[in-house]
Amino acid sequence: MGLFLMLFILPLTARDGDQTPLKAFLNGLRSSGVEKLECSGPYTEKYLLYVDQPVDHNDPASPGFQQRVFVMLRNRHAPVVFTTEGYAADYAEYPAYSSELSGYLQANEVVVEHRYFGASVPVDPEWKHLTVAAAAADHHRVIEMLKPFFDGKWVSTGISKGGQTAMFHRAFYPDDVDATVGYVCPLNFSIEDRRCYTFLQEVGSSECRDRIHRFQEMLLCNKDWYFEAFRERAEMAGKHYSIGDTAAYELTALEYSFAFWQWGLMPCDSIPGAEASPVEVIAHLDQVAGLDWVSDEGIEGFRPFFYQALTEIGFYGYNLAAFEGCIEALDDPTFMFTCPPETDCIYEPATMEKVDNFVRHHGSNMLFIYGEYDPWSAPAVQISGKTNAFNLVKPGGSHLTRIGNLPEELRRQVLETLAGWLDCEINP
């Protein structure tokens, strides 16, 4: 089996005579291998680099793991978009993958999978090493490895948790990149950031908010009518709830308002009323909030995220008081039940305070883009005006807000700003 493995790996790292300058450079790095990937569209070359990272950057002798880094080339003299994924980065394997920022900047791109996600997971990982500082050190190390090849300026970016990751990396290593663009990324200060509660009481029209509240109230105050349809749909989908079916039902109903506004995919007049059958009501609930959200399967798939939320990066909870008398199984509005078994999840505010202080007082060339109706805009990054950093909010926008779907005036503002910061031409 060992011989078979060697035969399988060697063609990925040492084959062929098509040694381009980038391929030769990557092969010369101290890594666990380089795999040439198929690419199409804007890039001429694309590689998967397995970077050896220590689990504990403060102890180089600690066990290591391989972090997946995708390297895509247009022109080594062009800017580099450094995409810090907050989760797995499987999408970067697709031959036609290209971020919108890379397209606007005519840039090279490097995508880094986050530690403890996807294939970038240590053997027998200890949760205590899944920290903001450790992930930032991962990214710093990748940039140090690749910068000697690329001549252009670097801009870090990410979406949602990936945007947080770019912001965190910048706070710990401010000189690694020349600019940062964070999409729809919050900066939370507790595991129950109550700014989301106020936001959900004010977002959109009063008519739509009332309709959402009535739908949630209908579910929570009439469990006997809808609960069996919930259980049947969950069972058909293979979902299980260690927290209990009733608690899962209540959490999913409570999640509905946040999810409705976050994604903005449903018109308000599509929300079912009492005239709809239980099956129709639960199908709609599943479509918006997702019955897998607090299932064992759903939690396990996002366990590293929940751990980070509960220990450093914060999260949101649910306003139980809004449905007083209709909540039976819940007495805690937070997600502490997602903490890994036999692990202490204790929230430490110091890291987010450090990041907040950096952005407010030192975060030059940082741009944050939000959607007006996205609840994650409630705990948006706060700008002090002491640097040239700024926030931009798309009117009516959701968590799907991107540069490409901004109103023309705002889109032009973003691109002209980036052109100035990076001293490059923009492909409009």
| Sign of the dihedral through C-alpha 222, 225, 230, 231 | positive
From the list 201, 31, 52, the residue with the least C-alpha distance to 120 is: 52
Domain assignment present for residue 136? The answer is: yes
Domain hosting 259: range is: 195-338
* 173 and 37 inside one domain: yes
Residues 317 and 379 in one domain: no
1 domain-assigned:
no
> Model-level pTM?
0.93
Domain boundary among 282, 305, 338: 338
Q: Within a domain: residue 129?
A: yes
Q: In this structure, is residue 29 part of a structural domain?
A: yes
Q: Does residue 428 lie within any of the structural domains?
A: no
29 and 137 housed in the same domain:
yes
b/e code 237-257 from CB counts within 10 Å (16+ = b): eebebebebbbbbbbbbbbbb
Q: Are residues 143 and 73 in the same domain?
A: yes
User: pLDDT at residue 3 above 60?
Assistant: no
Does 8 map to a domain? no
- For residue 41, what pLDDT is reported? 78
Domain membership flag for residue 216: yes
**HSE-CB of 87 using CA atoms within 13 angstroms:** 11
For residues 162 and 244, membership in a common domain is answered with no
Mean pLDDT (the chain, rounded): 94
State the pLDDT at residue 4.
30
We report the CATH number of the domain holding residue 181 as: 3.40.50.1820
Q: Are residues 102 and 34 in the same domain?
A: yes
Q: Does 5 or 411 have the greater pLDDT score?
A: 411
What share of the chain in percent tops pLDDT 70? 96
- The helix/strand/coil state of 355 is helix
Rounded Cα gap, residues 257 and 272, in angstroms: 14
**What are residue 65's phi and psi, to 5 degrees?**
-150, 160
pLDDT (0 to 100) of residue 17: 52
For the chain, what's the residue count? 428
Claim to verify: residue 318 and residue 371 sit in the same structural domain: no
Verify that 324 and 374 share a domain, yes or no. Answer: no
288/308 Cα distance (integer angstroms)? 24
Secondary structure of the chain: what % helix, strand, coil (to 5)? 45, 15, 45
* CA 255 – CA 249 distance, rounded (Å): 10
Q: For residue 12, is pLDDT > 70?
A: no
* Cα within 13 Å of Cα(240), Cβ side: 4
170 and 208: one domain? Answer: no
Q: What is the pLDDT of residues 124-182, one digit of tens each?
A: 889 999 999 999 999 999 999 999 999 999 999 999 999 999 999 999 999 999 999 99
Do 113 and 225 lie in one domain? The reply is no
| Same domain for 243 and 170 | no
Q: What is the domain count for the chain?
A: 2
Q: Which of 279, 309, 338 is the last residue of a domain?
A: 338
Q: Answer with the one of 338, 361, 391 that is the final residue of a domain.
A: 338
Report the Cα–Cα distance between both ends of the chain, in Å, rounded: 52
Please list the residues that pair with 186 across neighbouring strands: 380
Q: What is the pLDDT of residues 19-77, one digit of tens each?
A: 899 999 999 998 889 999 999 879 999 999 999 999 999 998 888 999 999 999 999 99
Question: For residue 14, is pLDDT > 60?
Answer: no
The 8-class DSSP code of residue 260 comes to: H
- Do 381 and 323 fall within a single domain? no
Closest CA to 56 of 140, 141, 130: 130
Q: What six digits make up the tokens of 166?
A: 């770019």
**Residues 72-92: pLDDT tens digits?**
999 999 999 999 999 999 999
Mean pLDDT of 4-29: 62
Q: Please state at what angle helix 245-263 crosses helix 223-236, rounded to 10 degrees.
A: 80
Residue 315 lies in a domain: yes
Dihedral, CA of residue 187, residue 192, residue 193 and residue 196, to nearest 10? 120
pLDDT at 128: 96
Rg of the chain on CA atoms, in Å: 23
